[in-house]
Amino acid sequence: MSARALQQPLPLRLTSNVFLALWCLIAAFPIFWIMVQSFKTPVDAYDSNALNVILGPETLARGHGMSALQILLGIGAIWLTIRLASRTLPAFVRSSLNGKQQWLGWIIGALVLGVGSVVVLFGVVPWVSGVLNPMLGPLGVDVVGLTTEHYKTVWVERGFFRNFQNSLLITAGVVTISLSVGTLAGYGLARSGSKLAFWILIIALIFRALPHSVLVAGYLPVFISSSEWLAPIFGENAPTLYGKPFAVIAVLVAINQPFTIWMLRSFFQNIPAELDEAARVDGCSHFQAFRRVIMPVMWPGVITTGLFSFLLAYNDFLVTSLLLDAQNQTMVPAIAGMFNRETTTTDQVVAVAAAVSITAPLFFLVMVFQRQIVSGLTAGAVKG
């Protein structure tokens, strides 16, 4: 009965759907737009006429274009990727793998899909259409100006791949360490009703509210001269922390801790305490109870929290730009550098292409983990 009673009257449903469509437009448009710009020559990319930006007459005039066939193929490939990422992959991982294998499944599946779609979009589609275009007559004539040269500049000439690797390294480090340290603390806080626990939470909250620039600027001189003040402990081999990925990982983990422990604490609070108490009655220590009873059921919350850690580490600019040097810089500061330095308009479009490139993995991640986010949140990772 509930389904019909809760059914909205038609006008309301219509309005609601129209607003939803409008919101989707607002949400996606700026991102869609920079994507379009990244495929055009500078003259088109910054044209004030929207139609020129989309159709790219100047780009077309320079001999970079796409035929109707290519557009269709491209759309097909993108649709297939979305489909695979949001349906097939999660379904496969969840149904045919279990426990620890799931992690590996997620990572390998996402990687294969990511690399595969890049190969198809930038390799197979142009090749297939190159063969077919001449045979198709009007369908094979270029209609929309579009060029991938900026992506080539970014990834091939500018060596953006190194930045990508650095980003991966830092993000992976932050997510793993942050989660391992955070789950322990979150569990401890959730199971302790002491005043100390409360004050730790409050102080963590205030830490979260701190303006980061203050903290970060304080690190710089200390990190640069670390080989001098660490010398009494490490002797000759004292490391210079500045420019070391592990130092940046440590800083980002610390900055991320308050949010992580709050999220995980509320998640653990929703797991009935009776569960681990029962295990303790059976003679387990707290750690054993945690490992045997809690760990198997905590993954939804951990995955959700992990995604937030991922976003923080992947998107960070302040810490990474200040504490890393060019050899191990991550993608975000590298792009900011492209925009800020004395640039030409071409450089700017190249930077836009780089910006779109770093958004692509995020797209992927959300496609794959979308349900996990919602179910993790539903399971109580956020209870205030």
- Binders of other proteins among residues 10 to 49 (CB under 8 A) are 12-13, 16-17, 19-20, 23-24, 26-28, 30-31, 33-34, 37, 41-43, 46, 48-49
User: What is the C-alpha separation between 82 and 233, in angstroms, rounded?
Assistant: 52
* Closest CB to other proteins among residues 97, 250: 250
Least CB distance to other proteins at residue 251 (A): 6
User: What is the C-alpha separation between 186 and 268, in angstroms, rounded?
Assistant: 7
What DSSP designation does 76 have?
H
User: What is the C-alpha separation between 321 and 260, in angstroms, rounded?
Assistant: 23
Measured CA distances, 77 to 129, 152, 357, 359 (Å): 13, 20, 17, 18
Contacts of other proteins in 212-231 (CB under 8 A): 212-215, 217-221, 224-225, 227-228
Evaluate whether 332 touches 320 at the Cβ level (below 8 Å).
yes
Evaluate whether 361 touches 114 at the Cβ level (below 8 Å).
yes
Contacts of other proteins in 173-212 (CB under 8 A): 181-182, 184-185, 187-189, 191-194, 196-198, 200-202, 204-212
Contacts of other proteins in 107-166 (CB under 8 A): none
* Closest CB to other proteins among residues 7, 98: 7
Contacts of other proteins in 308-347 (CB under 8 A): 311, 314-315, 317, 321-322, 325-327, 332-333, 335-337, 339-346
Count of residues in contact with other proteins, rule CB under 8 A: 124
Reading the block at residue 318, the tokens are: 């302040």
- E strands, 210-311, are none
Contacts of other proteins in 276-315 (CB under 8 A): 285-287, 311, 314-315
Q: Which residues pair with 142 in a beta bridge?
A: 67
* Closest CB to other proteins among residues 135, 214: 214
| Phi and psi angles of residue 142, each rounded to the nearest 5 degrees, phi first | -65, 130
Q: Out of 106, 151, 160, 242, which residue is the one contacting other proteins (CB under 8 A)?
A: 242
* Closest CB to other proteins among residues 128, 370: 370
Least CB distance to other proteins at residue 160 (A): 14
Least CB distance to other proteins at residue 363 (A): 8
* Closest CB to other proteins among residues 143, 250: 250
- Give, rounded to a whole angstrom, the gap between the first and last alpha carbons of the chain: 33
Pairing of strands 65-67, 142-145: antiparallel
